[in-house]
Amino acid sequence: MNFSKMHGLSNDFIIIENITQNICLTSKEIQTISNRYTGIGFDQLLFVEKSTQSGIDFNYRIFNSDGKEVEQCGNGARCFAHFLYLKGFTKNKRISVSTKKGILILSILKNNLIKVNMGKPDFKPYNIPISTEKFREKYSLLIKNKKVSFGAVSIGNPHCVISVKNINTTLVDILSPSIQKNNFFPNSVNVGFMEIINSKKIKLRVYERGSKETNACGSGACAAVAVGIKQNLLSNKVIVELKGGKLEIFWKKEDNCIYMIGQATHVYDGVIYL
């Protein structure tokens, strides 16, 4: 199996193109090769496939390191676009791809920067999904005998965003698994911890479904900014500082879509025998 290793702000991926090869992996096989000691090691696996839809360039599938397919990955989308252009699968600098949840538009800029139209943030409880019928800017749960308040939104995948005073002292690894297992989130959830520096800058840590805490999460950055704007805490253009680096996130009023700009890096190409 041929693959490419890539990363977006240290959120790392392997990309497998199923255009010239035909690879189908079980959940167990994905778990095996995701192991950082005995396999390749990655946060997510991305499949490049031919599009079956008119007007769409490629199909984009995402699997977490636990082998489960998920709807969205923003950092992966940037790597996906960089891979397609780098490997000559397209000469276009504007690429449309279909995902499990909808259509993404990827734009290749200068200096390995990729802009992704992540679509419209969805705050409707049923669509996130969360176990309530009424939208609130802030929800709350009792987690580890502590009241935790958060905003919730779908960026093609479910996110809850918790505002904290200091992300370095927040008990991310302790709180996140309990939140993800709570019945309030029937499909689990990506948990973001946001420290607001000012209206145009935040720090963020994200504990992802199926991958634990990663060095960066593109959809998590979009979710945090969307929730912050919804709560009148942030401007419509924000720099998000993650462990792996910075992303520029902006929410355009004209089309109500949220956009992400960040780097994508090709690390190496490889082959593994299963």
Number of neighbouring beta carbons within 10 Å of residue 273:
4
247 and 11 Cβ atoms separated by less than 8 Å: no
Is 217 noted as a catalytic residue in this protein?
yes
Catalytic residue among 24, 79, 160, 217: 217
Angle subtended at Cα 117 by Cα 124 and Cα 40, rounded to the nearest 5 degrees: 100
Would you give the DSSP letter of residue 139?
Answer: E
8 and 75 Cβ atoms separated by less than 8 Å: yes
Cross-strand partners of 46: 15, 62
Handedness of CA 45, 49, 51, 57 (dihedral sign): positive
Is 73 noted as a catalytic residue in this protein?
yes
Q: Which parts of the chain are beta strand (E)? A: 2-8, 11-17, 44-50, 58-64, 69-70, 94-98, 103-108, 113-117, 139-143, 146-154, 158-163, 190-198, 201-208, 212-214, 237-242, 245-251, 258-263, 265-271
Which residues participate in catalysis according to the annotation? Answer: 73, 217
